[in-house]
Structure 1
Amino acid sequence: MPRSRHSDALRAAQMYYLQDLTMDAIARELRTSRSTVSRLLSSARDTGLVQVQIRSPLDSAPELERMIREQHNVDVHVVPVLDTLNEAETLDRVAMQAARTIGPLVDSNAIIGIAWGATISAVSRHLTRKITHDSIVVQLNGAGNMQTTGITYASDIMRRFGIAYGARVEQFPVPAFFDHASTKTAMWKERSVRRVLDLQDRMSIAIFGVGSVDSSYPSHVYAGGYLDENDLKLLAGSDVVGDVATVFFRADGSSDGITLNERSTGPSHEQLRQVRRRICVVSGASKIDGLRGALAARLATDLIVDEATARRLVGFGDSA
């Protein structure tokens, strides 16, 4: 929003929510129309100036959040979702909440690392604009494979984040996996690649989903032609349960000895754990094994998750 409209939206929100004035009274005070006041209040909600909280004694989300914080040491937002929704509908609800949660965390001069995938693609479609200055959105892992460069898919996600936060976008034009570890070693010495890697090293926020081998809503890395039959056998032989930014891990969070990681272009778990704010977005109870592995690896500081998955995570209630 332009600064003057931002100021008007803030003033209208304060009068409406804090002073209990009607929209007609606000319109008279601001010398504008009632419909303009309605649009200002909508803008205040959409841009995060106003955040609505509903506290119900029947709501289990706060208790789930407390249990997850205690068990896994993460800040968590549990998204209430009806069990009657399918996984695509659940993902859309979680993505909407994630977009609203992420916005206030993004400040000027931020370097925001984004791992492409179905979940973060959904999040990118719900982002609302926020004015920042000198911020950068950097792609965390390459997106090419034997069938496609992956540029269109990944760049669309990066572009939406860049537009939302007025940030410069830095793509990572390498494959998701090199054919040989030696090729990766050589490429990582190239100055054009090192420039992107240096930005990743200075990230202040990383945003990612969790890929899961057994998810009923297939993760893009498993369904998009990135892994051949031999790769899948290697993962099964290493007891892999999931990945973050195409770097794989087991149920206990370990990743040592997983040979495919030597060819992956995503950041190592050690590198990711150096980022101050690491926001993990997960939708769908079928991703529970991948989520548990990611939390065991301490890859997230913040978790946004649907209620059914949260229940399974802590063994809460009838869904345990």
Structure 2
Amino acid sequence: MIESDELLSIRAAELYYEDDKTQDEIGSILRLTRWKVGRLLAQAKADGFIRIEIVHPRARRLPIERRLRETCGLADAIVVSTAGVDGEDEVQSRVAQAAADYLTALRPVPRTLGISWGRTLHEISLHLEDGWAAGVDVVQINGGVSLTRRAGTAATTAVTIAQKGRGQAALLPSPAILEHRETKRAIESDRAVGAVLAHARAADAYLFSAGPADESSVLVDSGYLTADDVAGLVRRGAVGDVVGRYIDATGAVVDHELDERTVGLPLESLRAATLSIAVITGAAKHAVARAVVGSGLCTVLVTDDGTAENLITTQARTSEGQRGSA
């Protein structure tokens, strides 16, 4: 009898989802009541015989979002589908659009938004609609004056987000990393720079991404570090950077001397924030995504389903290991 019901549920699902039959029509075909058809369809879904996939570029993976929140202790999670995606650039574009949608829907609207910079943040600024908010001021939370001509998007990103949100932008007029600690201290003690940093510390919400610990990092592209510098950081345990600060798998800074030459908010400011939104996508950033989420650097994560599944699986294994050693 159980096998018969299972076969009926599959047949009902085929007629409903593939042949576009109504439940009444399926009842007539299978000689069942409409109530029985509905129960068979629900059972087929519960047993995993039905897999529904929404392939619109702005579609979200709600069941994965729920699991990610529950497994990793996040206040919220936004996970986009990679179904039908052609390449990593399209995945990043989808995630950036999801982050822009999330910002637009935020209630209450943050009066001051602190942002980092880089390729992901720049793309978010392009996806935001003009008028996404009515009076959001934007402040840079780490230095972003480029040392090359290739990656000078920090100021442009902040100004674009602010203008589209009908607000003002407070720019941090400093490189991200300086050569000497004394220079960094002098710059941060400057009245204008100090005022921007104070404004950043008082922000209602933060929006940032994370970079991989390899030569593709925007910090390498911007001329702050060389590929050899990053390789040295990796040997010391670095998995990526957050607001210009390289962290290990536990979220700890790996090079304190470099950290002391980095201009901007410390990581503790992100951990202490009520709303801290990380936008991280791609296989190359799985390790740094785990470090960001695991160390409490964000309360909200916007990502792709592959990264989300990696986080869920890793956390589940960690929890099993902890239970086994208890």
Q: What TM-score, normalized by structure 1, do the two folds share?
A: 0.74
Report SS of the residue matched to 2:67.
Answer: helix
Pairing partner for 1:130 from 126, 129, 132 = 132
Correspondence for 1:58 = 52
> Equivalences for 1:1-320 in 2 at 5 Å?
58-59=52-53, 61-74=61-74, 75-82=76-83, 84-105=85-106, 110-128=111-129, 129-133=131-135, 135-147=136-148, 152-214=152-214, 218-229=216-227, 231-255=229-253, 257-315=255-313
- Partners of 1:240 and 1:145 in 2: CA distance: 23
Q: Does the 8 Å CA contact 2:201/2:265 hold for their aligned counterparts?
A: no
Q: Does the 8 Å CA contact 2:240/2:248 hold for their aligned counterparts?
A: yes
Give how far 1:270 is off.
Answer: 0.9
Cα deviations by residue, 1:255-299 (Å, 9 ceiling, x for unpaired): 265321111113111122222211111121221001111112211
Cα deviations by residue, 1:192-247 (Å, 9 ceiling, x for unpaired): 111101101101111011111148xx332233322025532441232111111101
CA RMSD between the two structures: 2.4
Report SS of the residue matched to 1:125.
Answer: helix
Give how far 1:183 is off.
Answer: 1.4
Report SS of the residue matched to 1:315.
Answer: helix
The 1:232/1:127 distance shift into structure 2, 3 A limit, reads: same
- Partners of 1:109 and 1:289 in 2: CA distance: 30
- Partners of 2:245 and 2:264 in 1: CA distance: 6
Report SS of the residue matched to 2:94.
Answer: helix
- Partners of 1:144 and 1:285 in 2: CA distance: 28
Report SS of the residue matched to 1:207.
Answer: strand
How many pairs align? 257
Corresponding letter in the other structure for 1:94: V
Corresponding letter in the other structure for 1:294: V
Report SS of the residue matched to 1:188.
Answer: helix
Q: What TM-score, normalized by structure 2, do the two folds share?
A: 0.72
- Partners of 1:169 and 1:190 in 2: CA distance: 19
- Partners of 1:265 and 1:205 in 2: CA distance: 19
Corresponding letter in the other structure for 1:139: Q
Structure 1 window deviating more from structure 2 (247-256 vs 110-119): it is: 247-256
Report SS of the residue matched to 2:176.
Answer: coil
Structure 2 unaligned spans of 5+: 1-49, 54-59, 315-326
Report SS of the residue matched to 2:127.
Answer: coil
- Partners of 2:259 and 2:100 in 1: CA distance: 29
Correspondence for 2:32 = none
Give how far 1:61 is off.
Answer: 2.5
The 1:256/1:91 distance shift into structure 2, 3 A limit, reads: closer
> Whose radius of gyration is greater, 1 or 2?
2
Correspondence for 1:27 = none
The 1:289/1:247 distance shift into structure 2, 3 A limit, reads: same
Q: Does the 8 Å CA contact 2:244/2:262 hold for their aligned counterparts?
A: yes
Q: Does the 8 Å CA contact 2:111/2:204 hold for their aligned counterparts?
A: yes
Structure 1: 4+ residue segments shifted above 4 A: 106-109
Identity of aligned residues (%): 29
- Partners of 1:305 and 1:249 in 2: CA distance: 19
Give how far 1:57 is off.
Answer: 5.6
Corresponding letter in the other structure for 1:255: V
- Partners of 1:196 and 1:222 in 2: CA distance: 25
Corresponding letter in the other structure for 1:58: I
Report SS of the residue matched to 1:206.
Answer: strand
Structure 1 unaligned spans of 5+: 1-55
Q: Does the 8 Å CA contact 1:137/1:168 hold for their aligned counterparts?
A: yes
Cα deviations by residue, 1:21-70 (Å, 9 ceiling, x for unpaired): xxxxxxxxxxxxxxxxxxxxxxxxxxxxxxxxxxx963593332222212
